[in-house]
Amino acid sequence: MFRITVLLLAFATPLAAEPARPAPLMPFYALVKIVAQRFDGRLLAARLDAPRPYEFALGAEVVQQLTLLSPQGNVLLIRLDGVTGRVLDVRGRGLTAARAKGNDRERDHD
């Protein structure tokens, strides 16, 4: 009887489960708005990128990297979670000077 139950349970599960669908990417204009709330500057470039190990550990499946030219002439690399818009990393010189004026924590996205 035990063998029959095990066989029935084995055949009750689907042979090929449907693969999970990836979450939709956040629209580009929404990501630009998030960055504009935090930093002053001009957008130079944007690209999709694979997450770095620490970004993947934070739950990011895909990363959108935006390159920004600050008013002081510094280049900032801003990496956001492509699905949620969460800012994962910001690198570059003059980060404090590039912060948008009047920006406080309640305006932050994450």
Compute how many other C-beta atoms are within 10 angstroms of the C-beta atom of residue 52.
14
Kindly report the three-state secondary structure assignment for every residue of 75-89.
Answer: EEEEEEECCCCCEEE
Give the domain ranges of the chain.
23-107
**Whether this model's pTM surpasses 0.95:** no
What are the structure tokens assigned to 53, written together?
Answer: 């190990």
- Please list the rounded mean pLDDT of every run of 10 residues in the chain (110 residues): 50 60 85 93 94 92 95 95 94 89 53
> Are 67 and 43 spatial neighbours (Cβ–Cβ below 8 Å)?
yes
What class is the 23-107 domain? Answer: alpha beta
Q: What pLDDT does 11 receive?
A: 54
How many angstroms separate the CA atoms of 69 and 56, rounded?
Answer: 27
The CA distances from residue 98 to 33, 42, 76, 81, in Å, are 15, 11, 9, 21
Compute how many other C-beta atoms are within 10 angstroms of the C-beta atom of residue 89.
14
Q: What residues contact residue 56 under an 8 Å CB cut-off, 6+ apart?
A: none
